[in-house]
Structure 1
Amino acid sequence: MKLKFSKPKTLNDPLEFNPLIKNLSDPDFYKYSRNNGRIQKSEAQKLYDDVLKPRINKYGVLSLSTNEKSYSMWNFYSNGHRGMLLEFNNDFLEKASFKIVSGKTPMEVDYTNDISIEAKKLKEMKYNDEELVKILFRKKYKVWEAEKEYRVISEIDSDSENDFALLDYDPSMLRSVIFGANMEPSLKKKTMDYLKSYNVKLCQSFILKDLISDNPSDFIEYLDLTEEKNRPILDSIADLPSEVFISNNQFLSEPIFKNSKS
């Protein structure tokens, strides 16, 4: 199995990894110019393109979260519940075969409204890679705070034309897999077959239609398919259409089938 590490340039926030480069001594530092009819980059943009961008794009970002019931993240990051959620063991990075530069535990994102670096220090290469990881890879603007993100940073092939790297990982790192409500039954079956020799809990997500709440997370619930009472769902998972899992609250406590033995 593989994990996707994205290059910084591909992440969805245009402000991310695009810090304010501070230079208070030069009033023209941020200004563009025109030369023989062609637009010339500002000094700030040149510094970013020539010095900063090559350094940060040699790393890949694996994004994790402690907010497993986020309605918006299930929609954004699993293609409208068509994917799955992977829950890792707390010590999963100790078994990692890829090169990690952010430590042996996931790095908690610091949500702030000040992401900046000094032009002089950047130009003189006084930021080492560890500092850049802390400044740029650890920080996001507060507008993303609800995601409760943690990150793993790994070295990847910066010369690759791909916008991401797929790095191998051992399925024993997993604690559970939660199938999206819209996930294709055939993909669930394929995943189950692959993981059957591993001690990984399998769960099915439900989106509840008959719930009244102001909290979007309340609309997502999970059933542990390894529990005996949910065995009929597990046995039929490759045949059940997605509309079964976008349904009513009663299925969390009552059998889906009229006769649970059938």
Structure 2
Amino acid sequence: MPSCDDYYYFYKYVSLEKGLGALGIINDCTLGYNNPVNFNDPYDCMHAIDLDFTTFNKEKFEIIADGKIKATNWIKKKNQIQADLKKQICKDLTKDIRKHVAVTCFSTDPLNILMWSHYADNHKGFLVEFKFPKEYFHASFLHLKNFPLPVRYTDEFPSIKLEWDFVKSRHNSSIWVNFSNKMLLTKAKCWGYENEFRMITDINKHEGNSLILKAFNPELISSLIIGSKISKDHQNAINLSVGNFNKKHGVNIKVYNSELMESKFALTVPKHPRLDMK
């Protein structure tokens, strides 16, 4: 990931296709968190779950079924019972995870032509450069909400192994951090061009699947980069928002313009301390 001095840098692509409401990231100092069910990857947070039935027996089945089963029936139906139980548990668990978390996405590649096209309205939007102190990435690693975490890209469909009665392990934070990492931070390799990092938050029952706005520390913003095809009206609106942001928070965020390089298929941001490729 890009780094300099005491900071790591992450970039959020922002589209203005639906209007200037997207400037809320500056005007209101909020980040939008979305439920994975709304993402463009249909496999987002969908994984195979391998349940270990080693400790599963007739007595434990009778407890969860709240009823007795004859020994002869148990022998005949044990495999089918396990298969049915696995199917239901996997379905409920995936649904539960996708229902109760929300994600905001960053990239470590601010000069990716495809990313500008896909997520910044064909270069008519803008990019917010965030800086996170490097110390964040050492002091609080187990707290999934404090800083961006890297997405892992793989050709193998991820499988998560759990005990069939895994609910008993919910109190074990290391188990659930590992589980959450695999569920929320693994994607197919075809998405690798995004170089994605994610920040994760919980969804309460009142928030549902709608966009959730969360305030962030204004000092995390390092700069804004405007798309090479942005309209004059939108550029003026961004400059006004950043000016107000600077006055309100006592900072000096600068606005830069991205440009197409003349001699190769690449972008540059003139005079930017890290992104000037000329």
Superposition map of 1:105-254 within 5 A: 105-112=147-154, 113-118=156-161, 121=163, 124-125=166-167, 126=169, 128-183=175-230, 184-197=234-247, 198-208=251-261, 210-213=262-265, 218=266, 220-224=267-271
CA distance 1:222–1:28, shift in 2 (3 Å): farther
Contact 2:45 2:184 in 1 (8 A): yes
The percent identity for this pair of structures is: 20
Q: Comparing 2-11 with 129-138, which one deviates more in the overlay?
A: 129-138
Give TM-score scaled by structure 1 length.
Answer: 0.65
Greater share of helix: 2
Contact 1:101 1:154 in 2 (8 A): no
Q: Which amino acid aligns with 1:142?
A: K
Contact 1:21 1:116 in 2 (8 A): yes
Q: Which amino acid aligns with 1:189?
A: N
Q: Which amino acid aligns with 1:51?
A: L
Give the corresponding residue for 2:110.
68
How far has the Cα of 1:199 moved from its partner? Answer: 2.1
How far has the Cα of 1:47 moved from its partner? Answer: 3.1
Give the corresponding residue for 2:144.
102
Query: Unaligned regions of 5+ residues in structure 2, if any?
Result: 1-28, 54-78, 137-141
- List structure 1 segments (4+ residues) > 4 angstroms apart after TM superposition: 23-30, 42-45
1:11 paired to 2:61: no
CA distance in 2, matches of 1:10, 1:83: 21
How far has the Cα of 1:60 moved from its partner? Answer: 1.5
Give the CA RMSD over aligned residues: 3.3
Aligned length: 205
Provide the secondary structure at the position in 2 that maps to 1:196: helix
Q: Which amino acid aligns with 1:82?
A: K
1:20 paired to 2:34: no
CA distance 1:74–1:168, shift in 2 (3 Å): same
